[in-house]
Amino acid sequence: MLKKIGLETMFDFILVVVGAIIIGVSLSYGFGTLSAPGPGLYPFFIGVIIVPLSLILLVKGIRAKQGSSLFSRETAVTFVFMIATFCLWIIVMPWLGYVIVTFFATYALAKIMRLEGWFKPLIISAGTAFFIYLLFDVWLYIDLPKGVLG
């Protein structure tokens, strides 16, 4: 008997199709060489990652009992808060600068993932912001928005 297809299963199928399209389009861009990678190399590998992982989720979704969900309501809410944090990170970065926004975004993500207390998230946030500063500003010399620090 054919069971009712849920939204998650349809989304997983769409991901498989999108991954296959990414692979197909990236092949037309070309891979380049090892010394000079072409524009199709990165999208190809992203597509190669998306397709099998989506297939695994699709198979799990089809085999799951009807009415059961791979994701609970709590997991979905956590996911929405994480996406909102990433979006705010991008929106606020030009005004506050990448170091300050990275600190607050990392703290928010730590609390969203239910890291206990306030000291551990602060340490992780400070370490991440400092590492991001070292990586992009000191080592790679990449100009990211400085915001109020600039």
pLDDT tens track for 87-138: 999 999 989 999 999 999 999 999 999 999 999 999 999 999 999 999 988 9
Spell out the domain ranges in the chain: 7-63, 73-149
DSSP 32: B
Reported as a single tens digit per residue, the pLDDT across 33-74 is 778 888 888 889 999 999 999 999 888 888 876 655 656 778
76 Cβ contact list (under 8 Å, min separation 6): none
Q: Check pLDDT > 50 for residue 2.
A: no
Cα–Cα distance measured from residue 38 to residue 23, given in angstroms and rounded to the nearest whole number: 14
Q: Longest C-alpha distance within the chain, in Å?
A: 64
* Entry pTM: 0.58
Q: Give the chain's length.
A: 150
